[in-house]
Copies of this chain bind each other. A is one copy, B any other.
Amino acid sequence: MLSIGALAKEAGVKVPTIRYYEQIGLLEAPPRTDGQQRRYGAEAVRQLNFIRHSRELGFEIDDIRELLSLSAQPSGPCENADKIAARHLDAVDLRIRQLTLLRNELKRMLDECHGGCVAECRVIDSLSARPD
């Protein structure tokens, strides 16, 4: 059985994060020692790794909640998991497109500024401009 610190190290998350996940019901409350300290088994390691990886991929907690409960029923259909992932992929694609537009605007701003005083600065000027 692992202490919360050992679990944290194992799964690559911080200790308070684990307590937070328990508090919001994402991780089950584990058994405790007589002194009220948490002790975790192998299943908790698996679940926490699952959560961490999902978070790294940008899934929201509510999505992860559903993905976790799906993963606990290996004989069920994976249709829902696919739907969640596909929806997330769309969101990521959109975000990349938006950021690329912003990047280009920022780059243009910077390229056009040749130093000097604020009155001539294309950076400040671009920011002041109202959109069409």
What is the interface of chain A, defined by CB distance below 8 A to chain B? 12, 46, 49-50, 53-54, 56-58, 67, 70-71, 73-79, 81-82, 85-86, 88-89, 92-93, 95-96, 99-100, 102-103, 105-107, 109-110, 113, 115-121, 123-124, 126-131
Contact = CB atoms under 8 A, between A and B. Distances in A.
Contact of A110 (B12, B89, B103): B89
A127 to B, nearest CB: 5
Q: Most B CB atoms within 10 A — which of A50, A113, A115, A124?
A: A124
Q: How many copies does the complex hold?
A: 2
Nearest to A107: B89
Given A85-B106, A127-B67, A116 B53 contact: no
